[in-house]
């Protein structure tokens, strides 16, 4: 991941992109390409537990060790 691909206009400073990229690569223990980073706004209402757990299940299935 080349942090120079992003600009401040994207809303994410290059140093933050570099830290996120390094963290993901270290966690996954392989080279990764970060395609998109975006800030999430705080929801106005609490997220139902079933919806949160569904997201966790989807994320873990995408990054399972093969």
Sign of CA dihedral 23, 28, 30, 33: negative
Range of the domain at 22: 3-62
Q: How far apart are CA 51 and CA 4, in angstroms?
A: 35
The number of folded domains in the chain is 1
pTM of the model: 0.47
Span 6-64, pLDDT tens digits: 444 557 788 888 898 898 888 888 888 888 887 777 767 777 889 889 888 888 887 66
Q: How far apart are CA 35 and CA 62, in angstroms?
A: 15
Taking the alpha carbons at both ends of the chain, their separation in whole angstroms is 22
């Amino acid at each position: 991941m080349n942090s120079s691909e992003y600009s401040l206009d994207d809303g994410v400073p290059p140093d933050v992109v570099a830290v996120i990229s390094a963290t993901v690569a270290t966690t996954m223990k392989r080279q990764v390409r970060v395609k998109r980073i975006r800030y999430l706004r705080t929801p106005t209402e609490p997220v139902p537990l079933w919806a949160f757990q569904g997201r966790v299940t989807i994320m873990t299935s995408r990054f399972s060790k093969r």
